[in-house]
Amino acid sequence: MADKIILSGFITVPVGEVEGVLDLLPEHITLTLAEPGCLVFEVRQRAGMPTIFDVYEEFQTAEAFAAHQARVQASPWGAVTKGVERSYTVKGI
């Protein structure tokens, strides 16, 4: 069996976009956790640093991870986070 895919890191959201990210975050988490192959999905606003959101994801396969990425790009979450700075590492690909 192939290694699971683990993404970890954070996003930095421009100050004026934090509210939009927070508005869409609960639905984004719910939809992602319902995806086939999603094992863990956590996005948390960092205490004391409201523009930083820590991200941790685990997917069973590279295919499940790729399907997640495709869904996100076409979603409202993808639109609201298009301009955020991403600092991730991905293991297992």
Per-domain boundaries in the chain: 5-91
The mean pLDDT value for 73-92 works out to 94
| Cα–Cα distance measured from residue 22 to residue 3, given in angstroms and rounded to the nearest whole number | 32
Instruction: Please report which confidence band the pLDDT of residue 86 belongs to, taking 50, 70 and 90 as the band edges.
Output: very high
- 22-72 per-position pLDDT tens digit: 999 999 999 999 999 999 999 999 999 999 999 999 999 999 999 999 999
Which pLDDT belongs to residue 50? 96
Record the tokens describing residue 1, joined without a space: 């069996």
Report the DSSP pairing between strands 5-12 and 38-46. Answer: unpaired
Instruction: Please report which confidence band the pLDDT of residue 77 belongs to, taking 50, 70 and 90 as the band edges.
Output: very high
Which pLDDT belongs to residue 54? 98
pTM higher than 0.75: yes
Record the tokens describing residue 40, joined without a space: 């863990």
Which pLDDT belongs to residue 31? 97
| Cα–Cα distance measured from residue 27 to residue 5, given in angstroms and rounded to the nearest whole number | 22
Order of strands, sheet of 49-59, starting from the edge strand that comes earlier in the sequence: 38-46, 49-59, 5-12, 85-91
The CATH code for residues 5-91 is 3.30.70.100
